[in-house]
Amino acid sequence: MAEKKVTMEDIARELKLSVNAVSIALNEKPGVSENTRKRIISKAEEMGYLESNMKYAAAYSSRNICILLEHRFFRDMHFYGRVLLGLESEARSAGYDVLIHSFERDSQEIPGCIEKRKVSGIIVIGKIGDNHLSKLKKYHIPIVLVDWISLEESTDCVITDNKSGYFKMAKYLMDKGFQKIGFFGGIEYSPSVKERFWGYQEALQVYMGLDFESSMEYVKRYSALSWIEEYVIAGDMDALARSFQEIPEMPEVLMCSNDRAAIYMCKVLEGLGYHVPQQISVVGFDDIELGKMVTPRITTVHVNKELMGRRGMQKLIYRLEHPEDRIEKIIMDVQIVERDSVKLP
């Protein structure tokens, strides 16, 4: 026997509402509250009504945005939690709902809401592989990357001015009299870390008068550049300590790839018997809330995370309305925040 087709009457009966209210909500007409509309849409999807009625499925998907990020970021929302707040706030203001999905690292998973085209746009927060991004693009749903840039797949994105941030930070440290400045971060991990390293290296060339080869020799003398991000993600203090101890010459200050790395390194250095900042200074990047709560408080580069989220959502909404416009890469400005982890001259 053929399965009975779900009707508006069935939905109304389940929710104890009138058929007229269900019809108004599904046809996107005024006359029911936003909360009632969401209940009706949710029940219609649950009962399979939307899949069998493409007209209403299209209306439903036009109000939904899928937000994707790696699952590990849910365990540490100091940075991306603020980005999400900006995304959700801007979406609500524009009349959109957000569906948040996480994926395991390197899984290339495609959420059901994308496979079934129940969303009109996609925002990816943070790192995503080019192969995964390429799979997403095959669904021909507009995509914006937030805090990530793909060098292979041309995609709208909103990113931080990483290079400028650590160029300014390196100059700030040199102006305070530091001569032995090391970089502590895995430069192969992401474009963001690599750009921060480039800003640091360029400052060495501009303000210390080093050519490229001399700057690389200087970097090797005072820096650790491999596997740092993996150790930070895993919270592996022993590995971070070993990485520091393998630096050929003792730096006066470490420019860490991000605030979390800086916070961990303060703990590691104290465990090794060094006092921060009296014997060695430490700086970070991102300005997460935790950086203000630890001792010493972390000197850092401020990223306006909520604004980054809002700009990402604004870019996606613009792309939905202007699908043929050129791809844009939006770069967010940054500022140095002075706190306690740098020794005063």
pLDDT in tens, 209-267: 999 999 999 999 999 999 999 999 999 999 999 999 999 999 999 999 999 999 999 99
- Which CATH number fits the domain that encloses residue 96? 3.40.50.2300
Q: What angle do the packed helices 162-175 and 191-208 form, to 10 degrees?
A: 40
Domain holding 92, by residue range, is 64-160+305-333
- Tell me if 53 is assigned to some domain: no
181 close to 173: Cβ distance less than 8 angstroms: yes
Residue 85: name the closest of 128, 125, 113, 39 by CA: 125
Residue 310, pLDDT score:
98
155 close to 185: Cβ distance less than 8 angstroms: no
Q: Which amino acid is at 291?
A: G
Check pLDDT > 50 for residue 2: no
Residue 3, pLDDT score:
59
Residue 125, pLDDT score:
96
224/197 same-domain check = yes
42/124 same-domain check = no
Residue 38, pLDDT score:
79
- Tell me if 345 is assigned to some domain: no
pLDDT band at 5, cuts 50/70/90? confident
Residue 244, pLDDT score:
98
State the average pLDDT over residues 318-334: 96
120/181 same-domain check = no
Q: Write phi, then psi, for 153 (nearest 5 degrees).
A: -105, 115
Cβ within 8 Å of residue 119, ≥6 positions away:
61, 64, 65, 66, 99, 113, 141
217/266 same-domain check = yes
Taking the model in full, what pTM does it have?
0.85
> What is the torsional sign of CA 16, 53, 102, 286?
negative
The percent of residues above 70 in pLDDT, for the chain, comes to: 96
15/43 same-domain check = yes
- Tell me if 40 is assigned to some domain: yes
pLDDT band at 59, cuts 50/70/90? low
Residue 54, pLDDT score:
61
Residue 55, pLDDT score:
64
196/296 same-domain check = yes
Mean pLDDT taken over the chain: 93
256 close to 225: Cβ distance less than 8 angstroms: no
